Amino acid sequence: MSEKNELAEDRTDWAEERTDWAEDRTVLANERTFAGWMRTGMASVALALGLRALFGPYEPTWVPKLVATVFIIAALMIYWAAWRQASRTRDAIDDHDANSQPTRHMTVISIIFAVGTIATGIILWLL
């Protein structure tokens, strides 16, 4: 094989390796983004609880409950959007050297957060 062909083959190998590393970085960034959106959803639940506590003695009582429910619903929407986008990205990109979380882990986490948020919303209405 000629030296020119070997050099071209080396460059192709290097380019493929850099592409693999870029995909690994993207997979890991996707996980960090998912975690950030889940934190944002939890902040929305905390805001709902804080508003309910702040306006607890307010009459009629359904008004602060309704306002808190808006943030509970927002949290559920955030969880769903985070799961959907993270799953799509995870399915579209292969990991090479990175040990990324399987999509099912993100699904389980999203479901747990959603169930906890729904339970929190129910408790807010029962108080």
| pLDDT single digits (tens) 39-80 | 999 999 999 999 888 887 778 888 888 999 999 999 999 999
Whether 87 and 109 have beta carbons less than 8 Å apart is answered as no
Residue 88: domain span: 3-126
Please count the structural domains in the chain.
1
User: What distance in Å separates the CA atoms of residue 45 and residue 111, rounded to the nearest whole number?
Assistant: 15
How many other C-beta atoms lie within 10 A of the C-beta of residue 110? Answer: 24
Whether 44 and 74 have beta carbons less than 8 Å apart is answered as yes
| pLDDT single digits (tens) 74-102 | 999 999 999 999 999 888 777 666 677 78
